[in-house]
Amino acid sequence: MDFRCHFFDTLASTNDTARQKCYSHGDVIVARRQTAGRGQRGNSWSSEEGSSLMLSVVLQPSFLEAGRQFSLLQCVALAVADMLALYGLDPRIKWTNDIYIGDRKIVGILMEQSVRGGFMERCVVGIGINVNQRTFEEWVPNPTSMVLETGGEYDLREVLGRLCEALGRRYGQLCSGEFETVAADYHRIMYRLGCESRFILPDGGTVGGIVRGVRPTGELVVEFEDGKVDDFLFGDIRFVI
């Protein structure tokens, strides 16, 4: 698919701009600086201007049943991971769609979508990639960047180009119904898959367990120390890192 990149100096949030009706499938909104960057769970997103990528992609996968929206999220996370691997990195996807290097977060993804008649309508995929950023505000939890991981500085437009190529390939898999391939690729690079981990539950308590995988609808499957296996929705469980 073809992407059309629109470059801005300062925006409140690229996701908000991308939501405007004048943008459609394949438009990519890129800002040098965001004044109100948004993250998941109502958090804010902070990136140093000019040294990291802040962008939002508009997708209109009207062929995709609403029940398959997790496959779209998987494609986006995989596209980012594919792009990072081109730079020699070994990215992992921390459920649902944070991209980690080791125990540090390098990319955040915020997907906002609408559904119509049981099918996906319009989807804005916001992606924040820490590229040449070396220092972070102290409230940002365990961040890293491409420069911190590899020692090299990168041309933001080149990184953007590689990301669009990767996204085009992964989106193509979605268009041709390759859901199992996408799910298997996601599974293969899941953060802490099969490893002993600690988790925080909604009541604030912590518990030990092992991530066994993810359901096609996106629930995380965790096996606990007592052998019990449970599925969790986004927001109901968090890793202790």
Residue among 32 and 162 whose Cβ is closer to ligand BTN = 32
Residue among 89 and 207 whose Cβ is closer to ligand BTN = 89
At closest approach, how far in Å is the CB of 80 from ligand BTN? 11
Q: Footprint of ligand BTN on residues 12-41 (CB under 6 A)?
A: 13-15, 34, 37-40
Residue among 175 and 240 whose Cβ is closer to ligand BTN = 240
54 binds ligand BTN (CB under 6 A): yes
113 binds ligand BTN (CB under 6 A): no
**CA-to-CA distance for 33 and 231, rounded, in angstroms?**
38
96 binds ligand BTN (CB under 6 A): no
197 binds ligand BTN (CB under 6 A): no
3-state secondary structure 142-154: CECCHHHHHCCCC
Q: Which residues contact 21 (CB under 8 A, 6 or more apart)?
A: none
Please state whether the peptide bond connecting residue 96 to the residue before it is cis, i.e. omega within 30 degrees of 0: yes
Q: What is the dihedral of CA 148, 152, 154, 159, to 10 degrees?
A: -70
**Residue 97 · residue 235 · CB < 8 Å:** no
209 binds ligand BTN (CB under 6 A): no
Structure tokens that stand for 83 in this block: 């792009």
91 binds ligand BTN (CB under 6 A): no
Please identify which residue in the block is written with the tokens 């890192």: 241
Query: Measured at CB, which residue is nearest to ligand BTN?
Result: 108
Q: Which of 56, 130, 133, 145 binds ligand BTN (CB under 6 A)?
A: 56
Binding mask 123-162 for ligand BTN (x = CB under 6 A): ---xxx----------------------------------
Q: What is the DSSP letter of 40?
A: G
**Cβ neighbours, 10 Å, residue 40:** 16
At closest approach, how far in Å is the CB of 39 from ligand BTN? 3
For residue 137, the SS3 value is coil
At closest approach, how far in Å is the CB of 107 from ligand BTN? 8
The gap between the terminal CA atoms of the chain, to the nearest Å, is 37
**CA-to-CA distance for 137 and 153, rounded, in angstroms?**
20
Give the residues lining the site for ligand BTN (CB under 6 A). Answer: 13-15, 34, 37-40, 43, 45, 54-56, 98, 108-110, 126-128
